[in-house]
């Protein structure tokens, strides 16, 4: 078998697909040497056949239909770089696995929504296997580090900064003092954010990655629905200033951890110390922190997106397949992953919280807020009324240690006050 080249079909020649194709064509001998086997791209799917991708594609078979290419005898491996949780990407990946081929994908949405079924399919079909290093944190070898490098550990916690667009926007808000909307517009102009930014700024893209890592880390069935997701759209310039005043930065932080009540998965803006491992991550960089009983903690940082870095992860998977390194999709056989038995979003979260409330500028309002907090068992550590123009006065509060549920109850109560002019915003304060 290893005397035969590994015949590769690539579906999707966007930024990542074109970069992957380029490396496989231009650096073929070097990569094949690492793979221990000849690597040959034999087929591609792309919308535009005329576009110059910097490599000679005249010898390749062009398919219009990814599903047809996925099942074609002319390929051993299907590289899926189309994207999307459903539709043609899913159909093509399924077709390839059913045909006993290896699949390499960068598609985090597909994995997060259908990972369990795809893993079962891959593991029950001789010859099939499913690889997705590029789906988590771009070029950072996070899947490999977690699934293989941490294999001896009882993993306690996986956390990280998993969306470069959000981290760029938050970093820019810090640097420029500008509002979220303005920075988002600039990011869109620079190509750091999509025209429809929901997947990124809504936290969904990062949550996909967190759910994938949690499945590996805890040997547990994929539970994307159990991720508590909050995007960065409510982060205001005042919050950035309040964080800085305390020596913190606001980061969209994903944390999956084993608690006494089960596995919690949270993706939300948090305040982290500016000098902490994750608080110190700037711009489009991604970071993944892996914690376990043997290792303690290890942190991996690097480029979370972009053609070259993501291609680096795709190529690592291709080399793994060529070498026969095909562990179970999520580290344990799909059938052995523990079932999800509890509602992850209901797991208590204790810690200090930051709160911003916007009040009418009139006597007695602060007392009403303090009363509402007290009634919910939330005790105030610090409170500050900010300079303001006009009638609406932003007040920022740091609580003593309390539970998220109490903070949520307090927010509801405050929102119902007649002196409150906008929905309160809260953020978890983390210490590392």
Nearer to a copy of itself, 179 or 277 (CB): 277
Q: Which is nearer to a copy of itself, 165 or 312 (CB)?
A: 312
C-alpha triplet 350, 267, 337: angle, nearest 5°: 95
| Least distance from a copy of itself to the Cβ atom of residue 268, Å | 25
Q: Between residues 128 and 397, which has the closer beta carbon with respect to a copy of itself?
A: 128
Residue 28 neighbours by CB distance under 10 Å? 16
- The residue (of 68 and 190) whose beta carbon lies closer to a copy of itself is 190
3-class SS at 255? strand
Which positions touch a copy of itself (CB under 8 A)?
19, 23, 27, 30-31, 33-36, 133, 139-141, 144-145, 148-154, 219, 277, 280, 292-303, 306, 308-309, 311-316, 318-320, 323-325, 327-328, 331-333, 336
How far, CA to CA in Å, does 417 sit from each of 67, 163, 353, 365, 381?
A: 56, 36, 20, 9, 22
- Spatial distance between the Cα atoms of 290 and 217, rounded to a whole number of angstroms: 9
Q: Residue 151: count other Cβ atoms within 10 Å of its Cβ.
A: 12
Backbone angles phi, psi at 353, to 5 degrees: -125, 150
What is the spatial distance between Cα 264 and Cα 214, in angstroms, rounded to a whole number? 9
The least CB distance from residue 27 to a copy of itself, in Å, is 7
CB of 332 to a copy of itself, least distance (A): 6
Tokens 């964080």 belong to which residue?
243
- SS3 (DSSP) at 319: helix
Whichever of 303 and 351 has its CB closer to a copy of itself, that residue is 303
Active site residues: 209
Minimum separation from the CB atom of position 36 to a copy of itself (A): 7
We find the least distance from the C-beta atom of residue 292 to a copy of itself, in angstroms, to be: 7
């Amino acid at each position: 078998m290893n005397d035969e080249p590994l015949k590769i079909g690539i579906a999707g020649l966007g930024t990542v697909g074109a970069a992957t194709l380029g490396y496989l064509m231009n650096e073929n001998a070097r990569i094949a040497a690492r793979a221990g086997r000849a690597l040959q791209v034999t087929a591609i799917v792309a919308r535009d056949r005329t576009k110059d991708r910097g490599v000679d594609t005249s010898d390749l078979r062009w398919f219009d239909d990814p599903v047809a290419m996925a099942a074609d005898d002319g390929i051993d491996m299907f590289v899926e770089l189309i994207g999307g949780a459903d539709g043609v990407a899913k159909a093509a990946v399924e077709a390839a696995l059913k045909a006993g081929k290896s699949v390499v994908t960068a598609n985090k949405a597909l994995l997060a929504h259908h990972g369990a079924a795809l893993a079962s399919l891959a593991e029950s079909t001789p010859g099939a296997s499913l690889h997705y290093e590029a789906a988590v944190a771009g070029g950072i070898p996070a899947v490999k580090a977690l699934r293989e490098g941490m294999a001896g550990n009882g993993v306690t916690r996986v956390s990280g900064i998993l969306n470069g667009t959000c981290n760029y926007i938050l970093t820019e808000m810090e640097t420029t003092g500008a509002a979220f909307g303005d920075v988002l517009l600039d990011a869109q102009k620079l190509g750091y954010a999509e025209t429809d930014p929901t997947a990124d700024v809504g936290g969904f893209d990062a949550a996909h990655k967190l759910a994938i890592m949690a499945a590996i880390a805890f040997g547990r069935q994929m539970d994307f629905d159990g991720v508590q997701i909050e995007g960065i759209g409510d982060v205001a310039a005042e919050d950035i200033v309040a964080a800085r005043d305390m020596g913190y930065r606001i980061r969209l932080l994903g944390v999956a951890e084993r608690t006494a009540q089960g596995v919690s998965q949270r993706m939300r803006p948090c305040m982290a110390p500016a000098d902490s491992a994750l608080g110190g991550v700037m711009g489009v960089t991604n970071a993944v922190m892996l914690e376990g009983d043997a290792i303690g903690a290890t942190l991996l940082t690097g480029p979370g997106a972009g053609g070259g870095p993501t291609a680096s992860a795709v190529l690592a998977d291709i080399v793994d397949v060529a070498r026969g390194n095909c562990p179970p999709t999520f580290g344990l056989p799909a059938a052995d992953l523990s079932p999800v038995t509890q509602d992850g979003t209901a797991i208590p979260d204790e810690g200090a919280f930051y709160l911003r409330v916007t009040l009418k500028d009139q006597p007695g309002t602060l007392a009403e807020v303090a009363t509402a907090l007290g009634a919910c068992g939330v005790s105030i550590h610090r409170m500050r009324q900010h300079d303001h123009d006009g009638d609406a006065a932003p007040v920022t509060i740091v609580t003593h240690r309390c539970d998220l549920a109490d903070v949520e109850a307090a927010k509801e109560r405050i929102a119902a006050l007649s002196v409150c002019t906008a929905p309160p915003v809260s953020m978890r304060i983390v210490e590392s």
